[in-house]
Amino acid sequence: MIKGVGVDIVKTERIREAALRWGRRFLDRVFTLGEIEYCFRKSEPYTSLAVRFAAKEAFIKAAGVGRLPFRDIEVVNLESGQPVIRNEGKLKRALEGTGISRVHLSLSHEREYGVAFVVAERGDLA
């Protein structure tokens, strides 16, 4: 059963400007070290950062757990390339009691925008 859905769109330039203005202070506040390293291996790191920022916002909307620190929400890619939200540590504890058993994430981006869509499921999936 679907508990919630969330969608968010972020302008790449907004993330680029924040990163250039605030540097590591901004990046470390919003992204995990793994996300930063992954994105800066790309030819267009700010596009990848923007879509991850959108994923964090969309996840908060879908999960309905209130405001979470962005660093507690980590977007990683499976070996297949599929993006997922890693459910570990503080995020796992925040989701306890919500009934959320599965989260689906879809990301898309182009030069100017990154968009993310999240579906949070609850209950027994069997």
Question: Per-residue pLDDT tens for 8-20?
Answer: 999 999 999 999 9
Task: Give the tokens for residue 95.
Answer: 């989701």
Positions marked active-site: 61, 109
Task: Give the tokens for residue 83.
Answer: 């993006």
In 39-112, the DSSP E strands lie at 74-77, 83-86, 100-109
Going from N- to C-terminal start, the domains of the chain cover 2-122
Task: Give the tokens for residue 34.
Answer: 């793994």
Superfamily of domain 2-122: 4'-phosphopantetheinyl transferase domain (3.90.470.20)
Model pTM score: 0.93
Q: pLDDT by residue (tens digit) across 94-125?
A: 898 888 989 999 999 998 999 999 999 997 64
